[in-house]
Amino acid sequence: MSTQMSKDVSCPKCSAAVRTKMWPGICTQDSPELRMRVLDETFFDWKCPECGYEARFLYPCLYHDRDRKFMVYLAPNDKAGEFQPVDVSEKFPQLAGVKKRVVSTPAELKEKILIFEAGLNDYAVELVKAALASVIEEKAGCKTVQGYFCCADEEANRITFTFFLEGENSPVLRRTSMDAYRKSLEIAGSLRTPEGNCFVPVDSVTALNLFADYRNSKKKA
Ligand SMILES: [Zn+2]
């Protein structure tokens, strides 16, 4: 079930108290329109009816797709990497078998939804993304600041990402073959990835750790 609440938010420009609707819990099956707003990146848009000031109003929010069995918790004030995993198995045994992720930005929330809706493994997607980012950094000689999964096409055998490069405003698209994804899936599968009943971040830091574990496991073998 989606949960809604209202709160008075003070306009940063004209200080008017604006009654603002918030959705701390989004259930896609009950509220497909909320899913659409997350995907078109308007979910956190906020506008003052008094002076017209527009801003993004972020708050913690739990996104749940019952059919596809995943939950993503947006914790905007935490860096997801510093998030302390919370074991929810005792309180919510019904959540066993549900993928649980924590992210810190709406863009990361959208990315997780796209990955899981495409039926992909997000550990493997992060590995492909990290590999592509290092190719870009080598070739273009500039750092990638952010990278996001866009789409995957089995028939065309490609997986597409957007990257934001340091000092550049517009993102660049990068593709690689789904073979790279399948290889990454093998790597992710050969290592212990922390699933279980905790909300965990799975991001670029996770990918670097996985690569390091993988190299170590090869050394030992
Ligand atoms: Zn205002």
Q: Nearest 5°: phi and psi at 164?
A: -105, 125
Q: How far does residue 53's CA lie from ligand 1's centre (Å)?
A: 5
pLDDT at 193: 64
4: which 2 tokens? 């809604």
Q: How far does residue 22's CA lie from ligand 1's centre (Å)?
A: 18
Domain parsing of the chain, residue ranges: 60-220
158: which 2 tokens? 């490609």
DSSP designation for 198: B
The pTM is what?
0.91
- Whether residue 147 contacts residue 105, with contact meaning beta carbons closer than 8 Å, is answered with no
* Strands of 17-27's sheet in order across: 3-10, 17-27, 61-65, 70-74, 99-103
Given a cut of 70, the residues of the chain with pLDDT beneath it are 78-92, 192-196, 221
pLDDT at 85: 56
Q: How far does residue 18's CA lie from ligand 1's centre (Å)?
A: 8
Element (DSSP H or E) covering residue 132: helix 122-140
| pLDDT tens figures, 93-146 | 777 789 999 999 999 999 999 999 999 999 999 999 999 999 999 988 889 999
